[in-house]
Amino acid sequence: MTHIMDHLHFRVTCMASPDTKHWPDGWSLLREALLNPRVSPEKLNEALREARARQPLPVLWLLGKAQAGKTSIIRALTGSTTARIGNGFQPCTRTARFYDFPSEAPVVRFLDTRGLGEVAYDPSEDIHYCESQAHLVLGVIKATDIRQDEVFEMLRQIRKRHPEWPVLMIQTGLHEAYPPGIEHALPYPYDQQPWPLQVPHDLIRSLQAQRDRLGKLPGPALVHWVAVDLTLPEDGWKPVNYGLEALWTAIDKVSVLGLQARLQGNPEVRDAYTRAAHPHIVGYALAAAGIGALPMVDLVGVPAIQAKLLHSLAVLYGQRWDGRTVSEFLSLLGMGVGASYVARLLSREVVKLIPGWGYTAGAMWGATTNGATTYALGQAANAYFARRRRGAPLDATAIRHTYTEALITGVNVLKSLPRT
């Protein structure tokens, strides 16, 4: 045991030399992965699939008619654009489709059933597939559409077979029932009962009629209702995403999926780039954690995952990601961070050599450390790209501090995400 730790100490302390040819293997692997990837896309994608199988995505089943507002809900929850969402859907049955977000290293999957309310639509195939996948059912109905019999009947069938499943009913398109000249009521009043006076009478009547018509679903599980108006800036309604906070609150009430932690991070952060970067960082951290739990994946795989994360962040920020940028970023991280990175990367290999521990302990340690270091690298890169975008001075101390703090935060974030 002493010999093993001495060997690790030697490999890490050789970081004291500024000559890059003496950098230990782990740090060099990251640098080479950033500059010249050594893992084929096929092998990397295979490793990602295996990692995802060990950490399945939380799946939200959006059940509603066409034009009910399902895409607007996905856009509001993820912060993605409608165009990207539309291009990102993939078929999973003849009439159902799925959308993974973010696409390369997803943290959540949305299922969308199409055809509800259409002539000759047989929902049996969709129901069978989606029931085998979903963790939360979201019933989506437009507030002004009273013809929801197909949606309500499917919900009743689902709850007969799964009486323990909670259901979240989302009523959308509130402004379509506003009288002329009426704006959104502020503060948000739709979480109050009885309905406040500032809610238009016709809208109250429509919302309540839908709730009464659905009635009580079979089983004891919760049915929660929320009213939202999720629009685009060009639609002219302010605020856009009206009722989004109420939607997040409702999701938290009916599920333990940790969706807001996956998709938003700290709700107090308002910077659009940082908010957009968060799910990418979490997604790749989860992927690296999954790879860290696979004993047959060698040390090259994790740096390759981290390289893909940093490249995706550069694209998000509209920054050039070339050899000069890579070298600048690594130099800002510094040798101390390099030693920390290498120690964590190599520690799994050392643990595997300890009698009585072997691959199991090494895999557990690798999952935690690889996920945390990936999260920390992502946050450091986020700080780096944010400064470059603003034209601010590149403060090495601040970027290293971000990395160090994110190591601890990353462990906590990964632990707080429920396993599906």
Asked, for residue 99, whether it belongs to a domain, the answer is yes
Q: Please tell me whether residues 100 and 205 are part of one structural domain.
A: yes
Domain boundary among 229, 257, 285: 257
Q: What is the pLDDT of residues 264-288, one digit of tens each?
A: 877 777 788 998 999 999 999 988 8
Q: Please tell me whether residues 250 and 356 are part of one structural domain.
A: no
Q: What is the pLDDT of residues 106-136, one digit of tens each?
A: 999 999 987 777 777 777 888 888 888 899 9
Q: Please tell me whether residues 221 and 134 are part of one structural domain.
A: yes
Asked, for residue 17, whether it belongs to a domain, the answer is yes
Residue % of the chain over a pLDDT of 90: 45
Q: Please tell me whether residues 48 and 149 are part of one structural domain.
A: no
Backbone φ and ψ for 394, nearest 5 degrees, come out as -85, 100
- pTM tops 0.85: no
Domain boundary among 228, 257, 286: 257
Query: What residue numbers bound the domain in which 226 lies?
Result: 59-257
pLDDT of residue 211: 94
Distance, CA of 72 to chain centre: 17
Q: In what order do the strands lie in the sheet with 223-227?
A: 90-91, 96-101, 108-113, 59-63, 136-142, 167-172, 223-227
For the residues 17-32, what does the mean pLDDT come to? 54
Helical (H) or strand (E) element with 227: strand 223-227
Domain boundary among 222, 257, 292: 257
- How far apart are the C-alpha atoms of 256 and 58, rounded to whole Å? 10
Residue 164 has pLDDT above 90, yes or no: yes
pLDDT of residue 10: 35
Q: Please tell me whether residues 199 and 229 are part of one structural domain.
A: yes
- Cα dist. 199→142, 182, 184, 210, 213 in Å? 17, 10, 9, 16, 20
Residue 250 has pLDDT above 60, yes or no: yes
Is the bond preceding residue 239 a cis peptide, omega within 30 degrees?
A: yes
pLDDT band at 46 (very low <50, low <70, confident <90, very high): confident
Asked, for residue 300, whether it belongs to a domain, the answer is yes
pLDDT band at 244 (very low <50, low <70, confident <90, very high): very high
CB atoms within 10 A of CB 107: 27
Distance, CA of 167 to chain centre: 21
Percent helix, strand and coil across the chain, each to the nearest 5: 55, 10, 35
Q: What is the pLDDT of residues 330-376, one digit of tens each?
A: 889 886 676 666 655 555 544 444 444 444 444 444 567 888 889 99
Sign of CA dihedral 312, 314, 316, 319: negative
Asked, for residue 124, whether it belongs to a domain, the answer is yes
Residue 15 has pLDDT above 60, yes or no: no
Q: Please tell me whether residues 105 and 188 are part of one structural domain.
A: yes
Asked, for residue 262, whether it belongs to a domain, the answer is no
Residue 103: CATH number of its domain: 3.40.50.300
Most confident residue range from 30-39, 317-326, 381-390, 405-414: 381-390
Q: What is the domain count for the chain?
A: 2
Asked, for residue 405, whether it belongs to a domain, the answer is yes
